[in-house]
Chains A and B, each alone.
Chain A
Amino acid sequence: MTDLLRTRVLGQSPRRVDGPAKVTGTARYAGDQHVVDPAYAHLVQAEAARGVVTGVDVSAARAVDGVLAVLTPDDAPRLASTEDAELAAFQSHDVAFRGQVVAAVIASTREVAREAAALVRVEIDRQPHDAHLGTDRDDLYAPEKVNTGAETDTSRGDVATALAHSPFTLDQTYTTAWYNNNPMEPHTTTALWLDGDLALYESTQGVHTTREAMAKVFGLDPERVHVIAPHVGGGFGSKGTPHVHTVIAAMAARAVPGTPVKLALTRQQMFSLVGYRTPTIQRVRLGCDAAGRLASLEVDAVSQTSRIKEFAEQTAVPARMMYAAPNRRTTHRLAALDVPVPSWMRAPGECPGMFGPEVAMDELANACGIDPVEFRVRNEPDVEPESGKPFSSRNLVACLREGARRFGWEHRDPTPRARVESGWFVGTGVAASTYPVNRTPGSAATIRCTGPRRYLVRIGAADLGTGTWTSLAQVAADALGVDFADVELRIGDTASPKASVAGGSSGITSWGSTVVAAAEAFREEFGDDPAEGDEAGAEMPGNDAGDTYAMHAFGAQFAEVRVHVDTGEVRVPRLLGVFAVGRVVNPRLARSQLVGGMTMGLSMALHEHSVPDERFGHVVNHDFAEYHIATNSDVPHVEAHWVEEHDPHTNPMGTKGIGEIGIVGTAAAIVNAAHHATGVRVRDLPVTLDHFL
């Protein structure tokens, strides 16, 4: 048990520290940083999904006035490490997916770089490719582990017998689409070599993770790689792991010594080079008794990975801890295809993995004639079902009840297709949310007294829009027992001590625990009246509570859906979420995070769908005109609330992480509401109008 921080600033709602710079456009993102006379790099991508590069003719490109260098597999310098195949730019002639980078042009202007890149002729000896994901494949395989290191398969009891003896059963297959993270800021790197040191202005969720990856690829001491990212234009996972363009920017800068090189991916290139959420196929089998108690729960998840690098989405993992059922089984299978490398996207595992089961719960609740809120309450487990650990806190029921109250659920007539208002079918639906409390080791922080009651807190953390500039300063203020205004936070730079990546909603848990430890160390050494220049630091302390307790955040989301009687158009006039996420550091910013997650969930439910054309092997709707994300008009009313939750086990702040849980369950709530509105059960996302015609 942790002694929770005494809160003065925590729980207050100071405005975003970086807000004034952002509303005036003066906040500097990776492409905005001023460098002297930069050169520009533009990428050339493979137009085949599988094959071997047999020739790259750069003569026409080189002949363009202003072209400084061209990198190709024929003559690019060797890298020190090619262990991460995704980062091994130009190290082999093999083409493993359509859109793989096969050359890069460096020129004195953007226009010339783009013009010359179009003149590079790449010959590829094409081989038959395979980009088909389906359960009909005979080469699906079980990965050793799935993302986060979880077990691939789990089993308790006897699901087959339990299912056979259940009076109410469900056996359905649900699919989620291929999604691209699409942060508004395209991945951008500005690279410069100085005396053998590499400096990068980078769009990254972790300056130190970028540093370590680049140090390894280029065979450098990590201290010689300097990464700066004070502001990041969204990431949603796609800037969490290093991608190849960063390596290429550094190679390009090395090719033009003394000149900084800017490389900004185009929106289209982002569909093949910076990861994405794999499509998933989820077979869900449930069996329950007449009272709605689950006897059996099974999820079999199939997803894709690339041939050159494995990523195993942990789709079935949330089913292991959500509901009680004595007999249960989960599996993960992968198809290794000639496709771009999938990776993290906001709530990997939980986001797709709570779609199928939460729709299935609705279907089974309907089959039993039990209200879907009540159905979930009846399946509330006493301990984490598979591990047997007690929960550090679990307030799903409170979220369901509070959400139902706020949403006005009690007057709901469960009959589907029973309400029409002004030409629209109207329905409501519910689904649950969850996300684990993640804690990533490897952070350190320093605190220095810079004047009377003034403190400088340094940690190489990141703010992707999450609010770190503000919320971590709040943590520091309470840890030091000073006012918010007395703390100056410095993040987003490898000049600050090492910090873990901003991912897995682990930022405040990991960095906050570290800052609290640093403050304790500082006070221990220098007391309450330090001298200017006094400095102390600490690394993130361990937390044994994780051995004892299962730690998760929970939530309940309610949706109203309207489907047009004539056209099938789908609208979501109202979304309401109630969450149990431990202590909330900054309500103003937390609300933005939760509402933002739900908004992205709505976007996933109604719009998003990367369309892979198997004939070519790439996503053909690769821009914002065709890959729809929700616009302002699609999001009339989203509200997020939270229940008071005191959890002394997660970390000294008592927080659980809020960046991802908002997107978990939204799509299921919308699908369930669409069924209530129309009687049509959609099991394949997105919920487009053609389902209702």
Chain B
Amino acid sequence: MPFDYRRAPDPEGAVAAATGWPGVAFLAGGTNLVDHMKLGLAAPDVLVDISRLPLDTVAELPDGGLRIGATVRNADLAAHPVVRRDYPVLARALLSGASGQIRNLATTGGNLLQRTRCVYFQDLTTPCNKREPGTGCSAIGGYTRHHAILGASAHCVATHPSDMAVAMAALDAQVAVLGPAGRRVVPLVELHRLPGEEPHRDTVLSPSDLITSVDLPPLPPGTRSQYRKVRDRASFAFALVSVAAVLRVEDGVVRDARIALGGVAHKPWRARRAEDVLLGSPADEEVFRRAIDAELAGAAPLEGNGFKVPLTRNLAVSALRELSREER
């Protein structure tokens, strides 16, 4: 469908343009939105281009953390010296997503708001509750290789495809949002929703909310982090399962553990149950295994993706093992 194109004068102007107009969409890197417009999944009347807004910088915060502008390109964020030095989990997550020529376009905000790659969601000819509420979920009983094993509902079993968001979930990132009512901060782990009965709602944001930046809190000295991703080919593919792990071990005891899982749920899955087991426990393989098993006790795989349970377990244990080894 034809649409009008406008360049946002400033963030406030972008939000004002979208407020009360459901047909307005923000355009940044475009790598997901343009795809959706071609597929017929999205048909905005007006595109408000925010890509040239001054939200494209990465700044070090007084507390030692990092503020990442919403339109910072994925490639630039991954190449940023502080990210590479202090947040390897984030750098690796970014670099394991998409391809070099896509990361040069894709932005921080857009990456967070990308939608599921469920084949039925992307195919207008098959029923999908996320695309058309009430039509049914075609993935259930269908091709489920990329679908959820945690937190899904009878209405939707889609997964969130981002790698970056998984790392940010483990880093306790905070998302700054500018909305019609002003500014607010949403913890990244609360940004995305579980599908429940409203799978058409991916996040807690409203269409006129604009992500302006993402803050990363500083990591205490001695903290190690890493991102591991398993996919069906060696590169340029979405995760079957990924693990972002942040670990601090002192004298053989886990003092901080933050684990997020990708490819397994409708949102980056923060593995709180596993973290509870890990905290204060000895950093050994048996504990790692027990921790992940506690998390996966709630797993409900579908026919066709049961392999994700052992895969997640093995990958997470392996990631923790490596991080604790580095510590020694």
Taken together as a complex, chains A and B put the C-alpha atoms of A339 and B119 apart, in Å, by 19
A115, B1: Cβ atoms closer than 8 Å: yes
Residue of B nearest to A611 (CB): B143
Given A606-B233, A613-B143, CB of A118 within 8 Å of CB of B311: no
Given A115-B2, A621-B119, A631-B235, CB of A566 within 8 Å of CB of B307: no
A616, B315: Cβ atoms closer than 8 Å: no
Number of A-B contacts (CB under 8 A): 79
CB of A428 to closest CB in B, whole Å? 20
Residues of the B chain whose Cβ atoms lie less than 8 Å from the Cβ of A620: 119-120, 123, 126, 142-143
B233, A630: Cβ atoms closer than 8 Å: yes
A634, B125: Cβ atoms closer than 8 Å: no
Residue of B nearest to A620 (CB): B119
Taken together as a complex, chains A and B put the C-alpha atoms of A634 and B138 apart, in Å, by 31
Residues of the B chain whose Cβ atoms lie less than 8 Å from the Cβ of A622: 119, 123
Residues of the A chain whose Cβ atoms lie less than 8 Å from the Cβ of B1: 115
Stretch of A20-28, A32-40, A685-693 on the interface side = A685-693
Residues of the B chain whose Cβ atoms lie less than 8 Å from the Cβ of A422: none
B142, A613: Cβ atoms closer than 8 Å: yes
Residues of the B chain whose Cβ atoms lie less than 8 Å from the Cβ of A616: 125-126, 138
B117-134 to A contact mask, C-beta < 8 Å, 1/0: 101100101100000000
Query: Is B62 interfacial (CB-CB < 8 Å)?
Result: no
B311, A689: Cβ atoms closer than 8 Å: yes
Q: Which of A590-637 contact B (CB under 8 A)?
A: 606-607, 611, 613, 615-616, 618, 620-622, 625-626, 628, 630-634
Which of B120, B138, B237, B317 gathers the greatest number of chain A CB atoms within 10 Å? B237
Query: Is B238 interfacial (CB-CB < 8 Å)?
Result: yes
With beta carbons under 8 angstroms apart, the residue of B2, B119, B141, B233 that contacts A631 is: B233
With beta carbons under 8 angstroms apart, the residue of A111, A114, A567, A625 that contacts B314 is: A567
B318, A567: Cβ atoms closer than 8 Å: yes
A566, B235: Cβ atoms closer than 8 Å: no
A690, B119: Cβ atoms closer than 8 Å: no
Which of B142, B232, B310 gathers the greatest number of chain A CB atoms within 10 Å? B232
B219-241 to A contact mask, C-beta < 8 Å, 1/0: 00000000000101111111010
B142, A631: Cβ atoms closer than 8 Å: no
Query: Is A571 interfacial (CB-CB < 8 Å)?
Result: yes
Query: Is B40 interfacial (CB-CB < 8 Å)?
Result: yes
With beta carbons under 8 angstroms apart, the residue of B143, B238, B240 that contacts A625 is: B238
Residues of the A chain whose Cβ atoms lie less than 8 Å from the Cβ of B141: 615
Residue of B nearest to A688 (CB): B232
Residues of the B chain whose Cβ atoms lie less than 8 Å from the Cβ of A567: 230, 311, 314-315, 318
Residue of A nearest to B321 (CB): A566
B233, A634: Cβ atoms closer than 8 Å: yes
Residue of A nearest to B35 (CB): A625
Taken together as a complex, chains A and B put the C-alpha atoms of A626 and B315 apart, in Å, by 22
A689, B235: Cβ atoms closer than 8 Å: no
Given A115-B1, A115-B2, A613-B142, CB of A628 within 8 Å of CB of B232: yes
A569, B230: Cβ atoms closer than 8 Å: yes
Residues of the A chain whose Cβ atoms lie less than 8 Å from the Cβ of B315: 566-567
Residues of the B chain whose Cβ atoms lie less than 8 Å from the Cβ of A587: none
B312-325 to A contact mask, C-beta < 8 Å, 1/0: 00110110000000
Residues of the B chain whose Cβ atoms lie less than 8 Å from the Cβ of A690: 307, 311
CB of B130 to closest CB in A, whole Å? 15
Given A613-B143, A615-B141, A693-B314, CB of A571 within 8 Å of CB of B234: yes
Query: Is A47 interfacial (CB-CB < 8 Å)?
Result: yes
A430-466 to B contact mask, C-beta < 8 Å, 1/0: 0000000000000000000000000000000000000
Number of A interface residues, CB 8 Å? 33
Taken together as a complex, chains A and B put the C-alpha atoms of A292 and B141 apart, in Å, by 45
Name the interface size band of chain B.
Answer: 20 to 34
Residues of the A chain whose Cβ atoms lie less than 8 Å from the Cβ of B311: 567-568, 689-690, 693
B230, A47: Cβ atoms closer than 8 Å: no
Q: Which of B80-137 contact A (CB under 8 A)?
A: 117, 119-120, 123, 125-126
A628, B237: Cβ atoms closer than 8 Å: yes
Given A566-B314, A689-B230, CB of A625 within 8 Å of CB of B40: no
A693, B234: Cβ atoms closer than 8 Å: no
A621, B230: Cβ atoms closer than 8 Å: no
CB of B128 to closest CB in A, whole Å? 12
A633, B234: Cβ atoms closer than 8 Å: yes
Residues of the B chain whose Cβ atoms lie less than 8 Å from the Cβ of A633: 233-236
Residue of B nearest to A47 (CB): B125
Residues of the A chain whose Cβ atoms lie less than 8 Å from the Cβ of B2: 111, 115
Residues of the B chain whose Cβ atoms lie less than 8 Å from the Cβ of A115: 1-2
Residue of B nearest to A115 (CB): B1
Residues of the A chain whose Cβ atoms lie less than 8 Å from the Cβ of B314: 566-567, 693
Residue of B nearest to A625 (CB): B117
Taken together as a complex, chains A and B put the C-alpha atoms of A47 and B141 apart, in Å, by 19
Taken together as a complex, chains A and B put the C-alpha atoms of A545 and B1 apart, in Å, by 63
A634, B119: Cβ atoms closer than 8 Å: no
Taken together as a complex, chains A and B put the C-alpha atoms of A689 and B308 apart, in Å, by 10
Taken together as a complex, chains A and B put the C-alpha atoms of A630 and B231 apart, in Å, by 12
CB of B1 to closest CB in A, whole Å? 6
CB of A522 to closest CB in B, whole Å? 50
Residues of the A chain whose Cβ atoms lie less than 8 Å from the Cβ of B235: 631-634
Taken together as a complex, chains A and B put the C-alpha atoms of A47 and B236 apart, in Å, by 30
Residues of the B chain whose Cβ atoms lie less than 8 Å from the Cβ of A566: 314-315, 317-318
Residues of the A chain whose Cβ atoms lie less than 8 Å from the Cβ of B138: 613, 615-616
CB of A130 to closest CB in B, whole Å? 17
Q: Which of B36-89 contact A (CB under 8 A)?
A: 38, 40
Residues of the B chain whose Cβ atoms lie less than 8 Å from the Cβ of A47: 125
CB of A458 to closest CB in B, whole Å? 41
CB of A431 to closest CB in B, whole Å? 22
Residues of the B chain whose Cβ atoms lie less than 8 Å from the Cβ of A111: 2
Residue of B nearest to A607 (CB): B233
Q: Which of B7-59 contact A (CB under 8 A)?
A: 38, 40
CB of A264 to closest CB in B, whole Å? 13
CB of B234 to closest CB in A, whole Å? 4
Residues of the B chain whose Cβ atoms lie less than 8 Å from the Cβ of A613: 126, 138, 142-143
Taken together as a complex, chains A and B put the C-alpha atoms of A690 and B231 apart, in Å, by 11
Taken together as a complex, chains A and B put the C-alpha atoms of A567 and B234 apart, in Å, by 13
Residues of the A chain whose Cβ atoms lie less than 8 Å from the Cβ of B307: 568, 689-690, 693
Q: Which of A543-594 contact B (CB under 8 A)?
A: 566-569, 571
Residues of the B chain whose Cβ atoms lie less than 8 Å from the Cβ of A693: 307, 310-311, 314
Q: Which of A219-274 contact B (CB under 8 A)?
A: none
B233-251 to A contact mask, C-beta < 8 Å, 1/0: 1111110100000000000
With beta carbons under 8 angstroms apart, the residue of B143, B233, B318 that contacts A628 is: B233
CB of B24 to closest CB in A, whole Å? 19
Taken together as a complex, chains A and B put the C-alpha atoms of A625 and B31 apart, in Å, by 13
Residue of B nearest to A98 (CB): B125
CB of B149 to closest CB in A, whole Å? 13
CB of B44 to closest CB in A, whole Å? 14
Residue of A nearest to B119 (CB): A620
Residue of B nearest to A119 (CB): B1
Residues of the B chain whose Cβ atoms lie less than 8 Å from the Cβ of A625: 117, 237-238
Residues of the A chain whose Cβ atoms lie less than 8 Å from the Cβ of B232: 607, 628, 688-689
Residues of the B chain whose Cβ atoms lie less than 8 Å from the Cβ of A628: 232-233, 237
CB of A320 to closest CB in B, whole Å? 35
Residues of the B chain whose Cβ atoms lie less than 8 Å from the Cβ of A118: 40
Could you jot down 11 A-B contacts, CB within 8 Å?
Answer: A111-B2, A566-B318, A606-B233, A607-B232, A615-B141, A620-B142, A628-B233, A631-B236, A633-B235, A633-B236, A693-B311
- B residues whose Cβ falls under 8 Å from a Cβ of A: 1-2, 38, 40, 117, 119-120, 123, 125-126, 138, 141-143, 230, 232-238, 240, 307, 310-311, 314-315, 317-318
Q: In the complex, given contacts A115-B2, A622-B123, what are 16 additional A-B residue pairs having Cβ atoms less than 8 angstroms apart?
A: A114-B38, A566-B314, A566-B318, A567-B230, A568-B307, A607-B232, A607-B233, A615-B138, A615-B142, A625-B117, A625-B237, A631-B233, A631-B235, A633-B235, A690-B307, A693-B314
Going nearest first, the 7 A-B pairs with the smallest beta carbon separation are: A690-B307, A633-B234, A633-B235, A566-B314, A47-B125, A566-B318, A620-B119
